[in-house]
C-alpha cells in the first residue's frame, strides 16, 4: 500500500467521524425548531426559526402579536432548548472523559458521587430549609446547597489521593462509591423525617427536568459546558496516552495521577453546575459516549467532541418527545426508552471491541 493509499484511508476515517458530528448537530438544530414550535401557543416550524433570526438580527417586530410571539419563542421556549443542549453536551463530554480516564465502561459523570452529593444538598435545603449562604431561601438555596455538596465527594477523593502514593482508577471509584452510599443514607434519613410535600419536591428534584430553565440560569450551564468541552478537547491527547497504561503514560511524559485528578476536578465542577440547576438527569452521560464509541471508535480526540454533539442531540430529541407525549413525563424516561433499545442494537452490531 502506497503513501497515498494510507492517506486516503486516513482521510476517509476522519471524514466519517466529522460527518457523524455534523449529522448530530443538524438533527439537534431541527429538534430545536420542533421544540420551539410545540406548545400551547401555535407557531409553525419555519416561523420559529424566522422569529429567532429576527431577534438575533435585532429587528423585533413592533406589532402586538409580533412582540407576543417573540416573547414566547425567545423568553419562554428558547431557554429550555438551550439548557437541553448544554446539559446533554456537558454530560456527554464528562461521561466520555470519565470513562476514558477511569478506564471503566460503567463510569458516568455521577460515578464519583456527584449526584448523591447534589441530592443531599437539595434535600437539606428542601427538608430542613437550611442554606449554606445564610439569608437565601427557595430555589436559589437549593441550587447553592446542591452545588456545594456535589463537590464534596470529589474533594474526599482528592484528599485520599494526596494521602496515598499510588492511587489506581478503581480505588478512586470505590472511594467515590463509599462517600456516595453515606450521602444517600443521610438523604434517606432526612426523607424519613420529611413532610409529604417536601418529599414530593425532593423526588421531583431527583428525577431531573429542563423545565426550570430561564435566561438567568441558562448562562451558567452554557459556560460550564463550554468550559468542559474546551478543557477536555485540550486534554484529549493526554487521556489517549493514559488509556494505554500508567507506566507507558509516564514514559510518554504524562503524569497519570495528576492528569486523572485534573479530569476529575473538571468533571466535578461542570457536572455540579449542571446538576444543581436541572437535577440528576441520567442515562445521557453514561450511554451517549458508548453509542459514539460504537459508531466512531474510542479515539478521545474525536470521541469527546462527538459525545458532546450526540449528547446534546439525544437529550433535546428526548425532551421534544417527552413534551409531546404528556406533561410531567421525566425526560430521562424517554431517553432510556428510546436510547436503551438503540444501544442494545449497536452492542449486537459491534465489530471491534471498544474496551
Query: Binding residue for other proteins (CB under 8 A) from 84, 90, 119, 330?
Result: 330
d(Cα 238, Cα 228) in Å, to the nearest integer?
15
Per rule CB under 8 A, is residue 353 in the interface with other proteins?
A: yes
Determine which residue in the list 184, 222, 237, 262 makes contact with other proteins, applying CB under 8 A.
184
Residue closer to other proteins (CB basis): 179 or 309: 179
Stretch that binds other proteins, among 46-54, 86-94, 299-307, 324-332 (CB under 8 A): 324-332
Residue among 279 and 330 whose Cβ is closer to other proteins = 330
43 and 37 in contact (C-beta within 8 Å)? Answer: yes
Task: Confirm or reject binding of residue 248 to other proteins (CB under 8 A).
Answer: no
Which of 78, 107, 126, 292 forms a contact with other proteins (CB under 8 A)? 107
Rounded Cα–Cα distance for residues 7 and 235 (Å): 26
Q: Is 97 in the site for other proteins (CB under 8 A)?
A: no
**Which range in 42-50, 99-107, 143-151, 266-274 contacts other proteins by CB under 8 A?**
99-107
Interface residue with other proteins among 20, 38, 160, 227 (CB under 8 A) is 160
Angstrom CA distances, 252 to 97, 121, 217, 237, stand at 20, 41, 42, 11
Integer angstrom CA distances of residue 302 from 7, 12, 71, 207, 311: 18, 14, 38, 31, 14
- Pattern 273-302, binding to other proteins, x per CB under 8 A? ---------xx--xx--x------------
Three cell numbers written together for 35: 421544540
Size of the site for other proteins (CB under 8 A): 51
Q: How far is CA 88 from CA 1, 52, 77, 273, in A?
A: 42, 22, 17, 13
Shortest distance (Å) from residue 188 CB to other proteins? 5
Q: Should residue 171 be labelled a site residue for other proteins when binding is judged by CB under 8 A?
A: yes
* Alpha helices (H) along 194-279: 196-207, 215-244, 246-251, 256-278
DSSP 52-73: HHHHHHT----SHHHHHHHIII
Tell which one of 175, 218, 269, 281 touches other proteins (CB under 8 A): 175
Contact status: 1 vs other proteins (CB under 8 A): no
Gyration radius of the chain's alpha carbons: 21
By beta-carbon proximity to other proteins, the closer residue of 50 and 170 is: 170
Cα–Cα distance between 28 and 46 in angstroms, integer? 15
φ and ψ of 231, to 5 deg? -65, -45
By CB under 8 A, residue 243 contacts other proteins: no
Provide the 8-state DSSP code for 28: H
Residue ranges in contact with other proteins by CB under 8 A: 104-107, 111, 156, 160, 163-164, 166, 168, 170-171, 173-175, 177-179, 181-182, 184-185, 188-189, 192, 282-283, 286-287, 290, 328-330, 332-334, 336-337, 339-341, 343-344, 347-350, 353-355
Amino acid at each position: 500500500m502506497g503513501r497515498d493509499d494510507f492517506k486516503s484511508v486516513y482521510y476517509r476515517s476522519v471524514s466519517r467521524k466529522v460527518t457523524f458530528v455534523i449529522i448530530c448537530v443538524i438533527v439537534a438544530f431541527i429538534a430545536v425548531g420542533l421544540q420551539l414550535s410545540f406548545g400551547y401557543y401555535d407557531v409553525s416550524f419555519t416561523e420559529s426559526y424566522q422569529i429567532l433570526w429576527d431577534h438575533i438580527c435585532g429587528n423585533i417586530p413592533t406589532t402586538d402579536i409580533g412582540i407576543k410571539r417573540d416573547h414566547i419563542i425567545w423568553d419562554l421556549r428558547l431557554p429550555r432548548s438551550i439548557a437541553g443542549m448544554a446539559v446533554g453536551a456537558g454530560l456527554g463530554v464528562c461521561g466520555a472523559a470519565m470513562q476514558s480516564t477511569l478506564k471503566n465502561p460503567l463510569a458516568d459523570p455521577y460515578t464519583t458521587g456527584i449526584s448523591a452529593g447534589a441530592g443531599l444538598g437539595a434535600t437539606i435545603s428542601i427538608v430542613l430549609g437550611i442554606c449554606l449562604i445564610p439569608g437565601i431561601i427557595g430555589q436559589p438555596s437549593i441550587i447553592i446547597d446542591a452545588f456545594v455538596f456535589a463537590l464534596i465527594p470529589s474533594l474526599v477523593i482528592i484528599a485520599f489521593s494526596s494521602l496515598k502514593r499510588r492511587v489506581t482508577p478503581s480505588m478512586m471509584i470505590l472511594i467515590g462509591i463509599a462517600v456516595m452510599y453515606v450521602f444517600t443514607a443521610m438523604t434517606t434519613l432526612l426523607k424519613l423525617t420529611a413532610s409529604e410535600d417536601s418529599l414530593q419536591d425532593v423526588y421531583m428534584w431527583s428525577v431531573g427536568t429542563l423545565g426550570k430553565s430561564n435566561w438567568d440560569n441558562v448562562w451558567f450551564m452554557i459556560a460550564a459546558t463550554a468550559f468542559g468541552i474546551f478543557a477536555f478537547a485540550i486534554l484529549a491527547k493526554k487521556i489517549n496516552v493514559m488509556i494505554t497504561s500508567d507506566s507507558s503514560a509516564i514514559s510518554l511524559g504524562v503524569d497519570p495521577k495528576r492528569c486523572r485528578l485534573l479530569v476529575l476536578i473538571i468533571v466535578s465542577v461542570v457536572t455540579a453546575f449542571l446538576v444543581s440547576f436541572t437535577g440528576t438527569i441520567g442515562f445521557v452521560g453514561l450511554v451517549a459516549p458508548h453509542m459514539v464509541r460504537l459508531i466512531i471508535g474510542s479515539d478521545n480526540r474525536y470521541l469527546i467532541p462527538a459525545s458532546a454533539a450526540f449528547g446534546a442531540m439525544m437529550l433535546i430529541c428526548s425532551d421534544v418527545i417527552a413534551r409531546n407525549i404528556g406533561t410531567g413525563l421525566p425526560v430521562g424516561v424517554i431517553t432510556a426508552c428510546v436510547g436503551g433499545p438503540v444501544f442494545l442494537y449497536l452492542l449486537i452490531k459491534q465489530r471491534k471491541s471498544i474496551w
